[in-house]
Amino acid sequence: MEDVPDEIFDVFEISESESEVYCHCKSDVVADLVECDGPNCKIKFYHIRCVGLNVLMDDEPSDWVCYECLGQEKPILISEQEKKSSKPLKTKSSNTVREYAFTLEKAQENAKKLVLDTFRKLRSEGFCKLNVQLNDMLTLTVGKLRNSNAANDNCEKLIQHLWPSLIQADNNNQLISTRLEKKTVSFHQIRGSKDIELTFENFMTNLEIENCPTQICRFLLQFLIQNLFQELLKRRYSVSTTLGETAAPVHTLPATERQALRFTAGYICSKLSQNFAKYQTNPSNDLCWNILKHFKISESEVDTQNILSYTKEWLNIVSRGGFFSVSDPVYILFREMETIVRSNLDEFSSLLVTKDQLHQQIEDSESVNYAYMELVKDKDDESDDIEVYLLNRLIKCWMNIRLNAFANVCKYIKKKQETPLSPTSQKRMKRE
């Protein structure tokens, strides 16, 4: 696969040329050097910044002696790049205020329909059909609610009581799993509140439903608000209420595209891993590096019965996914991101989606979050901020490579339509 410019990864790479190096930083940069005046100095030339000097030097003798000649310890200085990397983590989601189409006003406008549909769904459940008393009360409630508007205000109040739990942690920079967990905890804290019980009592009174047994009323209330809360979740966030259940179709990729996807995933993880390892003095980078190193297939997964089988297995792995061959869960994560990108490139109208909107769509995707959660579920030491930051870096790198490739293909197709391409250009187009 053709190498990608390092600007995509925001990585500053030091030149690897084999020219003469200076200073204790082993760099070949010749600007801003100061000469050591010590008679037996081994290095002789140092960068002003590396030794902590903040002066302008000229061509005259400096009368400066390095730390080695003075018998002192090497100064520990933070480079400009590390200073930049030590700043608080910023992610795409932290800069973007999420906007949702399903608001409290829209929910209250359709409050009666939402409650009525919830009761109908409960009536179709098997446990309700087995309980004759509960089934009769549900049938009576559905009939009266369908033909009356007396309880409309009570339906709106029920939704209003549930709404604070629904929007809990909406603007937090957290994974979907953490946000859903906080919403669920908040819901269970208010589901038995006196306000909700009083609203439901008024609901039954306004529908003129009398002599309802206390136990049946409690069952109705708890089943109603739990299913109503789940329905509100689905409408506001387009997520399933069952962990791991995804509604998005899985694209079947040809073998060549699967291999290209594995190579790209390995390339991105390898580049990011090198970047984080380079600046491990930053605790955040060190944590990200510790996560990324587990994305690669480890030696423990390779058959080691004998040297022949070991070599053959590694050759198969490298042929399949490159030198940084990612594990299957990592491939699934990139496949889910590819599914979202491809769905936005399939239709002409979706080409109007901006890069930031596409990034937000991938970050908020349930399938992407579940695939990513599988990768970091055993990393108890990392905070949620670190996990979200790393996910954003992976998405950013993937989108840059993917959209650059898409732009190049469009450019070649347009060029081919305008003027016939030579065989060499056609081969280059296929390769890219």
Query: Which residue reads 């990392």 in tokens?
Result: 382
Of the candidates 219, 244, 104, the residue with the CA atom closest to the CA atom of residue 166: 104
**Residue 246: predicted pLDDT:** 43
**Residue 199: predicted pLDDT:** 92
**Residue 310: predicted pLDDT:** 56
Contact (CB, 8 A) for 24 and 46: yes
| Cβ atoms within 10 Å, residue 364 | 17
Alpha-carbon distances of 129 from 139, 143, 213, 218, 340, rounded to whole Å: 11, 17, 17, 17, 41
pLDDT tens for the chain, residues 1 to 432: 555 555 555 543 433 334 455 676 766 666 677 778 777 787 777 777 677 664 444 444 456 778 777 777 665 554 444 444 445 455 554 445 567 778 888 888 889 999 999 988 888 887 777 878 888 888 888 888 888 888 889 999 999 999 998 888 776 667 777 788 888 888 998 888 899 999 999 999 888 888 888 888 888 888 899 999 988 988 887 655 444 444 444 557 777 788 788 888 888 888 888 888 888 777 888 888 888 888 876 655 555 665 566 555 656 655 555 567 778 888 888 888 888 888 877 655 555 677 888 888 888 888 888 888 888 876 655 567 788 888 889 999 888 888 787 777 667 667 667 777 677 776 666 665
DSSP 296: B
* Dist CA 114 CA 154 (whole Å): 12
DSSP 141-190: HHHHHHT--TTHHHHHHHHHHHHHHHTTTTTSS--HHHHHHHHHHHHHHH
Quick check: helix, strand or coil at residue 64? coil
**Residue 360: predicted pLDDT:** 84
* Dist CA 246 CA 98 (whole Å): 21
Helix 111-123 and helix 132-146, axial crossing angle in degrees, nearest 10:
150
For 200, residues 6+ apart whose C-beta sits below 8 A from its C-beta are: 154, 158, 217, 220, 221, 224
CB half-sphere exposure, 246, CA atoms < 13 A: 13
The C-alpha angle with vertex 342 and arms to 340 and 345, in degrees rounded to 5, equals 115
